[in-house]
Amino acid sequence: MPKRHKVFLRGFSAKVFSQTKGHKLWQKEQLGRQRKNILRFLIILALAAIIFNLVFRFSQVTSLIFRPFNKLPSTLNYEKGLDFKTRVNILLINLKSDQVEELALLSYEQKEESLVVIFIPREVEVSLPKNYGTQPLYSSYWLGQTEKEKKGIDILLSSVQIALAVPIDGYIALEEVHFSEENLKKLKEQLFSFNFFLKPLKKGWPPKQIKTSLSLKDFLQLSWKTKNTRSLDKLEFIYLDKTLKGATFDPQLLDNTISENLLDTNLASEAKKIEIRNATQVSGMGNFVSRVIANMGLEVVSVKNEEQTTETLIYAKESSRSVAKLSRFLQAKITKKELPNSQGDIVIVLGRDFYHRLELISD
């Protein structure tokens, strides 16, 4: 083969080899980039999983902090929390499955640092909401649980509020805790003890047998105030069986007992005069609200009927604890103006919305 041909072939082979080598290097670089992209994607995926897990765990932790206890299914609004500037009433429920074993009303007043526990008799019959008629009060929860929406706690709370004519600020339902004076005193002494602080570290805490509408903040505040109430002269137990006339409450005896023991001294000291205008078109609504207000320690100067309105409103020229308390109880807006021909410092116009909430009627 001529020399020039050999030179040409050698050059051509070198060129082909160089191109092949370059292609292999390019493929290697591409493969490296793909591997880096896959690794980057896996890292991002792992980080996303870690962040999601942390967020999920954080939501669990915050839920445990702010709502450590289970709640019973309810449509009633207790999200505003407790206001210790006025008397606080909490319904204690001894609940076993769907049966109410015992009921007691725990009432705390911060100004006097006093605590009253009112035991509600098992045999009492009262008027229940939702057209259930007169039934044993203790059956109200079970009746509500038989409904499709399972409104047991709603019917029970509304029934107690109507029967006793007191505003209910929340509930604590317990299982297998007998509501006797001795047991409640023992429970009071255990609050904020060494064992009390060890409980969150134990397995199975928070206990499933405690269900409440209270946030952890309200639960701890109430527990602390209960703990520091002097048992000797600031803790009182009242039995409502003394107010029974047959199977029902004697209204006069009941109201006397409630007003004497659940007087709100902060509200009474303001000495506001209340006028009630019943615009629900339902007979007796004005008188019921009048009973509740009188049991708080306020004076009702007038109850009369008025043309129907939808929304409940409170008219008051000045802010006060009485106005704030009535607004919470009635879930009513406050209008800072005086109505014509008004007879009271505070005028309440009861609308259909209050009647619907009280009787648990869907709009």
228 and 102 belong to one structural domain: yes
What residues have CB less than 8 Å from 151, skipping those under 6 apart? 73, 74, 75, 144, 145, 360
Q: How many CB atoms lie within 10 A of CB 186?
A: 10
**The total number of structural domains that make up the chain:** 3
**Cα gap 310→333, rounded to integer Å:** 12
Distance CA 115, CA 109 (A): 7
Let me know whether 93 and 240 are in one domain.
yes
Joined together, the tokens standing for residue 35 give: 């591997």
Instruction: Provide the residue count of the chain.
Output: 363
Hey, is 22 helix, strand or coil? helix
pLDDT in tens, the chain (363 residues): 555 555 444 554 555 445 555 556 656 666 667 777 776 767 777 777 667 665 555 555 455 555 557 888 787 877 778 999 999 999 999 988 889 999 999 999 999 999 999 999 999 999 999 889 999 999 999 999 998 888 899 999 999 999 999 999 999 998 878 888 998 888 888 776 656 555 554 555 555 678 899 988 899 999 999 999 988 889 999 999 999 999 999 999 999 999 999 999 999 999 999 999 999 999 999 999 999 999 999 999 999 999 999 999 999 999 999 999 999 999 999 999 888 888 999 999 999 999 999 998 875
Confidence (pTM): 0.78
Does 256 reside within a domain?
Answer: no
Both 102 and 203 in a single domain? yes
Q: In the listed set 245, 274, 301, which residue is the last one of a domain according to the structure?
A: 245
- Indicate whether 252 belongs to any domain: no
Residue 340 lies in a domain: yes
Secondary structure class of 75 (helix, strand, coil): coil
Question: Residue 206 falls within a domain, yes or no?
Answer: yes
Task: Give me the phi and psi of 282, to 5 degrees please.
Answer: -120, 120
In a domain, 254, yes or no: no
Residue in 167, 154, 161 with CA at minimum distance from that of residue 88: 167
Same domain, 151 and 198: yes
For residue 301, the Cα-to-chain-centroid distance in whole angstroms is 33
Q: Exposure pattern of 217-251 as b/e (b: 16+ CB <10 Å)?
A: ebbebbbebbeebeeeeebeebebeebbeeebbee
The closest alpha carbon to 335, from 348, 344, 325, belongs to 348
> What is the token pair recorded at 185?
């005193």
Write down the number of H helices and E strands in the chain: 11, 15
> Could you tell me if 103 and 9 lie in one domain?
no
| Angle, CA 332 vertex, CA 269 and CA 173 arms, to 5° | 80
Q: Which domain holds residue 182?
A: 88-245
- Do 121 and 237 belong together in one domain? yes
Residues 6+ apart with CB under 8 A from 343: 273, 275, 301, 302
